[in-house]
Amino acid sequence: MKYTTLPHTDIKVSKICLGTMTWGNQNTQEEGFEQMDFALDKGVNFFDCAELYPVPATKETYAETERIIGNWFNKTGNRDKVVLASKIAGTGDYTAHIRTNGFCKEALNEAVDNSLKRLQTDYIDLYQLHWPERNTKMFGTRDYVHNVNDPWVDNFNEVLHSLDEIVKSGKIRHVGISNEGAWGTMRYLQESQLHNLPRAITIQNAYSLINRVFEVDLAEVSHREEIGLLAYSPMAFGVLSGKYIKGTAADNARLKLFPRFARYSGEKATEATKRYLKIAEDNNMSLAQMALAFVNERPFVTSNIIGATTISQLEENIDSITISLSEDVMKAINAVHAEIPNPAP
């Protein structure tokens, strides 16, 4: 395993982070336990979860993923071996079964306290805001379109003051953001600098061969402001395994169970995936390992959040850390990207 540190801290984390959003839906507690045991044995010490998980989010399965992790901590006593990240759910119809008062002080305190109980721990190493509260660019949209009727009022300072109290209480160590844009990221950083408030040290956004939108402006923010990307969906819901193109996807594969998650399955994304599959095969790699190695090697990536439903998938994903992409492979990848840029924003 390769390791780095969370920016502005001395916390060492594995370059591969274990994603958990299938536990409690596609995966049982027993399978979640098996994945955590396996990942930890392979040197993965960074686990990411959220109160929203598992996904698809429902009232019936709300926070089951955190409960599974907490039960594993209780069973194994491995809390001190894991750097743990979780998130408060953002606002919207998708999360209305959780709460509807956004990131106000009461919501943040409630969310943290309940996560700690489920996770059976006294602290969370990295606590993240899962979504912006304001209307901004969302999944599947390429451009920002301003909504003059957006009721949101600038509350960056208020949110950071609330998080500051929670940090000082010892319940969380550091804060991060997720699914943010460049403007929101800079506003959080500006408020923290001007008012000596907790600094966002990471940003968790989608990033993969078929979604390199992060490179447009956030990559520069990441480098210049030292806020590390925690890349999620590096496999694009399994599309970048090639199994849907090859017709080898199991009946319980994510996009067979939940066909509405079509973000990465459009015509252009499929064409790009076919080309990336050929590059991988021509260079004696699986597409999955090439896709993950690509993300692992980006200089703005602090950790690559991988997820799996089987141990064999998990092993292949973790082993991507041993692969280095040649200059020729990178040229071939970038040639596809130039012809079909960001087909799955």
The chain-wide mean pLDDT, for the chain, equals 95
The pLDDT, as a whole number, for residue 306 is 98
What distance in Å separates the CA atoms of residue 181 and residue 192, rounded to the nearest whole number? Answer: 17
Mean pLDDT confidence for 40-47: 98
Reported pTM: 0.96
pLDDT digits (tens, 9 = 90+) for 135-159: 898 777 888 999 999 999 999 999 9
- Give the model's confidence band at 234: pLDDT under 50 very low, under 70 low, under 90 confident, else very high: very high
Residue type, 270: T
**DSSP result, 204-227:** EEE-BTTB-GGGTTHHHHHHHHT-
Q: Is the pLDDT of residue 257 over 70?
A: no
Tell me: pLDDT of 260 over 70: no
CATH code: domain 3-339 is: 3.20.20.100
Note the pLDDT tens digit of each residue in 265-296: 899 999 999 999 999 999 999 999 999 999 99
Residue 254 pLDDT more than 90?
no
Question: Amino acid identity, residue 107?
Answer: A
Residue 174 reports pLDDT greater than 70: yes
What is d(CA 100, CA 281) in angstroms, rounded to the nearest whole number?
48
- Report the percent of the chain where pLDDT is more than 90: 88
At 256 the pLDDT is 63
Give the per-residue pLDDT at 93: 85
- 10 Å CB burial of residue 292 (0-12, 13-18, 19+) is buried
Q: How much is the pLDDT for 189?
A: 98
Handedness of CA 220, 221, 226, 227 (dihedral sign): negative
Distance CA 238, CA 336 (A): 19
Q: 73-87, 133-147, 169-183: lowest mean pLDDT where?
A: 133-147
CA separation for the pair 37, 97 (Å, rounded): 32
Q: Is 188 annotated in the active site?
A: no
Section 50-56 average pLDDT: 96
Q: Please pick, among 3, 53, 62, 232, the residue that the annotation labels catalytic.
A: 53
